[in-house]
A and B are shown apart, each in its own frame.
Chain A
Amino acid sequence: MSKRVLVVDDAIFMRNMIKDIFASGGFEVVGEASNGLEAVEKHKELRPDLTTMDIVMPFKSGIDATREIIKQDENAVVIMCSALGQESLVMEAIEAGASDFIVKPFRAEDVLAVVRKVLGDA
């Protein structure tokens, strides 16, 4: 059974790109969300094996959404999507319970390597 993924990002382009990467890695993208509020809702509904989370998003930040998701499901695996220069935000997200992070620009191998590492533990 392929692992089920929820992709959270406010940019459609980014979501598509991330979806392609996961598809190439044999993952099943089961849902998408474009902001933190939607992310928390979708996570509750879909219970994915893994969620990728943009940090800066409208309505509710990725960090706050992560904190709520972990509260909802302490075993949830959330991977932050960050860019260079967001180091302190990433560490804040790790404090909030994020399992790992990936750094833009994304390279498929790197993303999948991080994801597989994390899921190997889960």
Chain B
Amino acid sequence: MTLDMSKYLALFVSEATDHLDALAHELVKLEKQPEQTSVDSMFRHAHSVKGMAAAMGYEHMAAIAHRLEDLVDAIRSDRSLVTRESVDLLLSATDALLGQVRAASEGNEVEEAPELEAELAACLASVVAPPGATTSLLDSSAGFRPPVAPVATGSAPAASSSDPRPASSTPASSAMPAMWADSSAPRFTVKLRIASGCQAPGPRAFLALKRLAKLGSIFDLNPAMEELRAGKISEGLISLELETGSSESSVWGSLDSVAEIEIASVVALESTRQPRKRPIGHPQSPPTGQEAAKTIRIRTELLDYFLDTVGELILATAQVREIGKGVPLALRPALEEGVDRLHGLVKDLHEKVMSARMTPLSTLTDRLPRPARDIARRRGKDVDLAVAGAEVELDRTIVESLSDPVLHILRNCIDHGIESKEERALAKKSERGNVQISVRRDRDRVILEIEDDGRGMDAEKLRTAAIERGFLTQQAASRLSHKETFMLSCLPGVSTAKDVSDISGRGVGMDAVKRAVEEVGGTLEIDSERGRGTRFSLQLPLTVSVVNLMLVGIGEEIVGVPVAKVLSALEVDSNALSKKGDGALLRHSRAVLPVRHLSDLLGIPGAEHAGARPYLVMEAESGKVALAVDKLLGQEEVVLKTLSRPLDLIPGLSGVTILGTGRPVFILDVPRLLVT
């Protein structure tokens, strides 16, 4: 691959992935509601991927996309071809293409998929053989046609300026042999769009018309030829009617080799059938007018960079303010005024950057129907997935980190929650299981709930499993509340599943789900009722990067703990502790908490404490603990920075921040620190 091509790679990868994701999404929809789902946009996605892959030189990718396109085309004219098997095949083709795109993005060879190609070809052969034969006959004859389309070929350009013939609804080539004006030949309304940056729209349009004219006769050209030749094309849009014996896909393909102009829509005009409308452009990228100008694609790295930089700006401002405290009194008002103004501007900028990073949860939920279908099928269940409120927006980091946890919960719901058809019938439930994902905004939090109407969790089994694994005593278990009991399923290795299926149980477990939710500053709650179902409730912050930190002194060091994780802070005299073996216990609001020393956990020498010392009460995996520290230095709102390699590998550190004084401070993940 040449250097130059690599410039296009990132864009190719992002656009091709978008098209393929959308295609997979619509395929799943198609299977459910074959009649109501538009196949047109699927065709367009497949067609775009084919064109893009071919342009990038990925022949194997283009070959699969081409077959995919043909098969979708066949489905478009005959919905009865929509079967589980055909959708399966189309989905595997989509997956294969996604795999190839991924390989390309990683700089690997795009590999051939001969079996898949053969399978697609076989499927195609079985469905389109008869009409295909006619089409190809007509196609081949197209090459021998007399120049029937006068708009492109009838007049020499030199003479055209004096040519008064306007484009009209009668074939301007009325002198042509009647056999070519066969009124039974299908007509298509074709809309073309010239790229906005095109320097010579006139010749560009002319070239495109010339290609289309190879397929048949052109009517109703708008704008008229004269205007078109002069480049007077409003918003770059051209429409025309094309009478042709060629197939619709040949019309789509006719401009594949012409740059800067694309077919926006092809609508068959047939008296017997309803005209099929094709939306101009991709639904997510409105192509025309003002909307298009209002949104642009931006690299996510750039968004991350903005956030990092604006974070640095906040810190730098705090630093200047700090320095200002040492400036002679006479100079201070002016300096402080300047710093205040700067602070205001930076805060405003921070807000804007944060809002630019907001991403709707639909980017996550749109990807779920596909795995939901696959898991349900593998388990022989029928499950309906409903999503509500996916338009709610969150910081993109949160949306991204939720992707695995949400998928895992969904798997759990379908795999373990929803009963088999027989079991549901016995329980007088409808055979189809339901999983409902709902998202809503609640002040500065977002609540994401995933709820199934399955068999519910067995609290008793959870308690037994947790006790068996030594996480808590019988006594402690009996004191747990309803919801606390279900949270036991998030302890490593505790699961109510009788067997480890090949679907859930692998990769991330519920403990990883809980951790991932907490890492973005959220909390997880589980509620369940036997026979009625289970609800997983994720409470999420809107943004991640600003956290309220409790600053703690250990010897000479300062570390931070998210305030949200601190249940309470108190000072206790060491005499008030009770001894237990090597450790100590602290009595706190009717509970007895094990004492852990942060200095031991971090391996930092702590200060000596004769009398009272501060403790932080925190939640750990094994229950509450009292964390002994040297000093409580107060709370501060800080900009969280994620750790980069190799620091991110150290367990117990969740991030770093820089205080106004310029001092870097690590943020601790205390529960993990206690485990390691």
Contact = CB atoms under 8 A, between A and B. Distances in A.
A90 interface: yes
A118 B64 CA distance: 21
A25 B259 contact: no
B7 interface: yes
A119 B7 CA distance: 19
B227 to A, nearest CB: 13
Interface string B172-210: 000000000000000000000000000110110011001
Interface string A81-94: 01010011011101
Given A25-B2, A95-B153, A120-B54, A90 B258 contact: no
B202 to A, nearest CB: 5
Contacts of B57: 116
B259 A103 contact: no
B302 interface: no
Nearest to B211: A121
Contacts of B199: 84, 103
Contacts of B202: 87, 91
Contacts of A122: 257
B665 to A, nearest CB: 46
B293 interface: no
Max chain B CB contacts within 10 Å: which of A25, A82, A88, A119? Answer: A88
Given A24-B3, A112-B4, A91 B157 contact: yes
Interface in A50-108: 82, 84, 87-88, 90-92, 94-95, 99-101, 103, 108
B229 interface: yes
Interface in B216-264: 229-231, 256-260
Chain B's interface: helix, strand, loop or mixed, by majority?
helix
B200 A84 contact: yes
A1 B158 CA distance: 40
Interface in B30-64: 54-55, 57
B363 to A, nearest CB: 29
Contacts of A120: 54-55, 256-257
Given A91-B157, A116-B55, A117-B257, A26 B2 contact: yes
A121 B257 CA distance: 5
Contacts of B4: 24-26, 108-109, 112
A113 interface: yes
Most A-side CB within 10 Å, residue of B54, B161, B200, B203: B203
B257 A94 contact: no
Contact of B207 (A84, A92, A94, A103): A94
B203 A94 contact: yes
B231 A87 contact: yes
A109 B7 contact: yes
A103 B207 CA distance: 14
Contacts of A94: 203, 206-207, 210
A99 B206 CA distance: 12
B156 interface: yes
A95 B206 CA distance: 9
Contacts of A91: 157, 160, 202-203, 206, 229
A25 B57 CA distance: 12
B259 A114 contact: yes
A109 B2 CA distance: 12
Contacts of A88: 157-158, 161, 229
Contacts of B257: 99-100, 117-122
Interface in A1-32: 24-26
A2 B200 CA distance: 29
Closest 6 CB pairs of A and B: A121-B257, A26-B2, A90-B203, A114-B259, A103-B199, A117-B259
Given A92-B158, A109-B4, A117-B55, 13 more contacts: A24-B4, A26-B5, A84-B199, A87-B230, A91-B157, A91-B229, A95-B156, A101-B207, A113-B55, A113-B259, A117-B259, A118-B258, A120-B257
18 contacts: A24-B3, A25-B2, A26-B2, A26-B5, A87-B202, A87-B229, A88-B157, A91-B203, A91-B229, A94-B203, A100-B207, A108-B4, A109-B4, A117-B257, A117-B258, A118-B257, A118-B259, A122-B257
